[in-house]
Amino acid sequence: MTAANRTYGAEPPRELTPAPAASSETGGGGAKAQPLEDRIAACDWKAIDSDLDEYGVGRLGPLLSRDECNELAAAYGQDKLFRSKVVMARHGFGRGEYKYFAYPLPKVITTLRTCIYPEAARTANRWADMLGSQRRYPLAHTEMLERCHKAGQTRPTPLLLRYEQGDFNCLHQDLYGEHVFPLQLVILLSDTADFEGGEFVLTEQRPRMQSRAEVVPLQQGEAALFAVNERPRKGAKGYHRTKLRHGVSRLRSGVRFTAGVIFHDAL
């Protein structure tokens, strides 16, 4: 079997080493954690879609419990879970570091990818219609991965990011190859009481207008879905494309962990 034909998404997900228990409540929400699939299904996808259309980002609310957040953040020290580590300062990306997960992915990451993708794909296809594009995205994530792998994009892209005091992430786009899914997910894993600064920021470059910035406040366990590269925006003569970039402002104190869930794989 060639690398381009491997069905990585079908491998059994990894179980993470449990972190010390803090609480079984959903981060920021106060409700006992249901199965993650149910929490995703319960999101207000109509409101999320509306925010994506208006701002290029939609908050899903609290998805992960404190225990799940702590467990995922603690996984950063388990090198066997990752395929590579990037120290941002070495590449001019900012300051801080991140690690890309290896296949098989942790179960929580696989669930987020698999269950959020169909809703995101409906938005992506609707946006393609608005922009007059013929590109369509399959509604099953396994089919999206097959498309990537046939093009040689076989490396997993979900990642954990770690920031300390003074760290930041420059504005950027996560593209990785020919097949780019137009939305991705970010989840804050750290308690906001443990750090200051480090705001998640989006900028939108609008034709013949100044760029617009959007700061997205998140609580521990809360997720946001946002545009990777471009999105439709309605103007006087119909819809046009606007370009987006995202980053993280300077962390003024503490330590901040986030998870990034990208739906396409990399070359």
Mode of pairing for the β-strands spanning 212-216 and 200-205: antiparallel
Confidence (pLDDT) at 123: 98
Q: Is residue 231 part of a domain?
A: yes
pLDDT band of 33, cuts 50, 70, 90: low
Domain-located, residue 172: yes
In this structure, is residue 76 part of a structural domain?
A: yes
Cis peptide before 104, with omega less than 30 degrees from 0? yes
Report percent pLDDT > 90 for the chain: 79
Asked if pLDDT for residue 21 goes beyond 60, the answer is no
The per-residue pLDDT for 29 is 42
* 209 or 32, which is more confident: 209
Residue 124 sits in a domain of what CATH number? 2.60.120.620
Q: What value does the mean pLDDT take over residues 91-117?
A: 97
The verdict on residue 5 lying in a domain is no
Assess whether pLDDT exceeds 90 at residue 102: yes
Reduced to 3 states (helix: H, G, I; strand: E, B; else coil), residue 228 is coil
Spatial CA neighbour of 21 closest among 63, 76, 62, 70: 70
List pLDDT tens digits, range 160-203.
999 999 999 999 999 888 999 999 999 999 999 999 999 999 99
Residue 18 lies in a domain: no
Range of the domain at 198: 35-262
Cα(222)–Cα(220) distance, integer angstroms = 6
**Domain annotation covers residue 14:** no
φ/ψ region of 94 (left if φ > 0, alpha if ψ in -120 to 50, else beta) reads left
In a domain, 12, yes or no: no
Could you tell me if residue 6 is inside a domain?
A: no
Number of structural domains, the chain? Answer: 1
- CA separation for the pair 8, 4 (Å, rounded): 10
